[in-house]
Structure 1
Amino acid sequence: MSDIFRELLKKIGSGNHTGENLTRAEAATATSMMLLGEPTPAQIGAFLIAHRIKRPTGEELAGMLDAYDQIGPKLQPIDSPRPIIVLGIPYDGRTRTAPISPIVALLLAAAGQPVLMHGGDRLPTKYGLPLVEIWHGIGVNWTELPLETTQQVFEQTGIGFVYTPRHFPLTKRIWEYRDQLGKRPPFATMELIWCPYAGDAHIIAGFVHPPTEAMFQAALADRGVTKFTTIKGLEGSCELPRDRTAIIGLSMLGTTNEETVAPIERLHLMARDYGFSSKNVPLLGIEELIAQMQEVLRGIPSELTQTALWNGGFYLWRSGICDSMQLGIAKAEKLLIEGAVAAKLLQLTQVVQSLSSVHNSKLLTVEN
């Protein structure tokens, strides 16, 4: 049993009248200890459920991110004229609406905007469809690449994926508790704004509940992060909905102030104002989704193509590649119709396969 951890647990688990929030340093200590398995299972389980009931603060999220920065993996800076985009996607996947983020990542990379994603396999509480399975379905297997090889892929293609089961296996312990508890711990919230990149980055984070966005702002302000976007997206993702107003928080990129939260400008977008129908594409299964994505990549008009244009247009504008949403949507359509997005996927697939072969050959040589 860890006496140090017990004191931190007592602090957050003492109830409404005597309980206290952790300081940033204390939250970092607690996170590091849990990742390293220093407390007992009883202590870790009690901490995770107590922290969820109490609700984390922005300062606590900042401390948790500090621990991830110290212990976790990071891709190194690549040559890019603009900050890379880090897409924070929920870790229990999608169950109701068809994801489009891999297509958006390919579209952005084809336009010269590097994108970094991160995530793992199907996880509680939803056990929904994760990004890594979608990538695999369209021909890109991120799961077998060591971090050094992922770095090379990122440098050559402008697309990276930090696969946590391989690149940050210490997190597996936390997800086992999450399964047993049946609830998302604050780690799930924190990882939406985690940035496994050592260079200049623009963090995109999805959320469901407004208090989560406020926590993001406070945590990012604590850490001095000024480039971020928050999106009340589909199933808490970074994807703009079509059936309702997309509520977006835009940081004033590169600005700082003395407030306790990072400043944002509120933006509301309606799909119908840009010529799209007010309907989200349902998720009917991985096989059908991959078939739909192949149509999108071929430039064939479809409901999922409309979702790709809606999201692609926004991100092309937000990244500064296009001066307006309208121009972003037009450019996204051109990139799809002219085959630039499909060509980026082909390049990515070939680079991953080539570097994987080199890595496997080296392993065989070492084993022999």
Structure 2
Amino acid sequence: MSNAFRDLLKKVGSGVHTGEDLTRAEAMAAAKMMLLQEATPAQIGAFLIAHRIKRPTGEELAGMLDAYDELGPKLTAIDSALQPIVLGIPYDGRLRTAPISPIIVLLLATVGQPVIMHGSDRMPTKYGVPLIDLWQGLGVDFSKLSLAETQRVFATTGIGFVYLPQHFPQAQTIFDYRDQIGKRPPLATMELIWCPYAEDARIVAGFVHPPTEGMFQGALSLRGISSFTTVKGLEGSCELPRDRTAIVGVFADNTLVEHLHLSARDYDFASKNVPFESTAQTVADMQAILQGKPSELMQTALWNGGFYLWRSGICEDMRSGIAMTEELLTNGKVAQKLQEVSQSLSSTMLAG
């Protein structure tokens, strides 16, 4: 048993009247002791549920990010005129709406915008379809790459995937506790703004509940990251919904510059999301999109692609971004990027 961890547990788990928030240094220490298994299983489980009940502060999230920064993997800079975008997508995946993120990542990489993703396998508490499964369905298996191999694919294609079981096993061990306590702990919030990149990057973080934006702002400010984007997206992802107004927070110099309110109807898209049926069906639909075939999921790809091309500075507005997305999908350029990624991955693995 760790007496030091027990003291931190007592602070967050003492209830409404006597409980206390952790300092940034204490939160970092607690996260490190959990990641390194210096705390006992009983202590870790108690901390995670107590901290969820208490709710995290931005300072505590900053401390947890400090621990991830010290112990976790990082991709390094590549030859690109654009800062990479790091997508903060919930690790426990999607169950209700069909995801489109791999198509958007391929689209951005096609126009020279590097993108970094991070995640794992199916995991608690939702056990929805994760990014890694979708990429595997498209013929790209990032799970087999070492970090050095991931770096080479990232440098070659502009797409990187930090896969926790392979690249950050200390963090992967925490997921068993999530399953056992049956709730998503504050670490799940922190993961949305984790940046496994050694240089400056543009963080785009999905979220569900409005107070989360304030936590993001507090944590990233303490970490010296003052410009980022938040998306109240589908199931907490970075994907814009079609059935409701998409709310996007644009932060610069640690200030909320504006909340964009984007309605799919204003851009001639139907006000409905594509339901998730199965991983196989979603992969088949994405493959059809890459062939330029019209579909409801193609409409979702156009809606999201237009937004990301605009906000990346590739296009001057949403409408031109939507038009460019349609052109790149129908002329086969995005499909070519997928083939390039697949070939890069294969050659990298053969090179060892």
Q: TM-score under structure 1 normalisation?
A: 0.94
State which of 323, 330, 335 in structure 2 corresponds to 1:337. 330
Q: CA deviation at 1:337?
A: 1.1
Q: 1:128-277 maps to which residues of 2 (within 5 A)?
A: 128-252=128-252, 255-256=253-254, 262-277=255-270
State which of 268, 272, 292 in structure 1 corresponds to 2:285. 292
Unaligned runs of 5+ in 1: 257-261, 360-368
- 2:18 alignment partner in structure 1: 18
Q: CA deviation at 1:358?
A: 1.8
8 Å CA contact 2:82, 2:112 repeated in 1: no
The answer on 1:347 being equivalent to 2:340 is yes
Secondary structure of 2:105's counterpart equals: helix
8 Å CA contact 2:120, 2:164 repeated in 1: yes
8 Å CA contact 2:93, 2:128 repeated in 1: yes
Unaligned runs of 5+ in 2: none
Q: Aligned letter for 1:329?
A: I
For 2:173 and 2:50, locate their aligned partners in 1 and report how far apart those are by CA, in whole Å: 17
8 Å CA contact 1:232, 1:246 repeated in 2: yes
Q: Aligned letter for 1:302?
A: S
8 Å CA contact 2:249, 2:256 repeated in 1: no
Secondary structure of 1:170's counterpart equals: helix
1:185-244 Cα shifts (integer Å, max 9, x gaps)? 111010000000011200010001011111111111111112311011000000000000
8 Å CA contact 1:84, 1:114 repeated in 2: yes
Give runs of ≥4 in structure 1 deviating > 3 Å. none
- 1:311 alignment partner in structure 2: 304
Q: CA deviation at 1:160?
A: 0.5
Q: Aligned letter for 1:349?
A: S
Q: CA deviation at 1:82?
A: 1.6
1:113-150 Cα shifts (integer Å, max 9, x gaps)? 00000000000011100000000000100111000000
For 1:286 and 1:172, locate their aligned partners in 2 and report how far apart those are by CA, in whole Å: 23
Q: Aligned letter for 2:56?
A: P
For 1:60 and 1:355, locate their aligned partners in 2 and report how far apart those are by CA, in whole Å: 39
- 1:365 alignment partner in structure 2: none
For 1:324 and 1:248, locate their aligned partners in 2 and report how far apart those are by CA, in whole Å: 15
- 1:36 alignment partner in structure 2: 36
Of residues 123-132 and 223-232 in structure 1, the stretch that sits farther from structure 2 once superposed is 223-232
For 1:350 and 1:170, locate their aligned partners in 2 and report how far apart those are by CA, in whole Å: 30
Q: Aligned letter for 1:12?
A: V
For 1:236 and 1:278, locate their aligned partners in 2 and report how far apart those are by CA, in whole Å: 18
Q: Aligned letter for 1:276?
A: F
- 1:59 alignment partner in structure 2: 59
For 2:327 and 2:46, locate their aligned partners in 1 and report how far apart those are by CA, in whole Å: 53
1:22-57 Cα shifts (integer Å, max 9, x gaps)? 000100000001000001111111111100000000
1:332-361 Cα shifts (integer Å, max 9, x gaps)? 1111111110000000000101111222xx
- 1:85 alignment partner in structure 2: 85
8 Å CA contact 1:322, 1:328 repeated in 2: yes
Aligned pair count reads 352
Q: CA deviation at 1:11?
A: 0.7
For 1:305 and 1:40, locate their aligned partners in 2 and report how far apart those are by CA, in whole Å: 48
8 Å CA contact 1:201, 1:227 repeated in 2: no
Secondary structure of 1:143's counterpart equals: helix
Secondary structure of 1:225's counterpart equals: coil
Q: CA deviation at 1:69?
A: 0.2
Of residues 327-336 and 98-107 in structure 1, the stretch that sits farther from structure 2 once superposed is 327-336
For 1:227 and 1:122, locate their aligned partners in 2 and report how far apart those are by CA, in whole Å: 31
Q: Aligned letter for 1:218?
A: G
Q: CA deviation at 1:76?
A: 0.5
Q: CA deviation at 1:251?
A: 1.4
Q: Aligned letter for 1:308?
A: A
For 2:8 and 2:91, locate their aligned partners in 1 and report how far apart those are by CA, in whole Å: 26
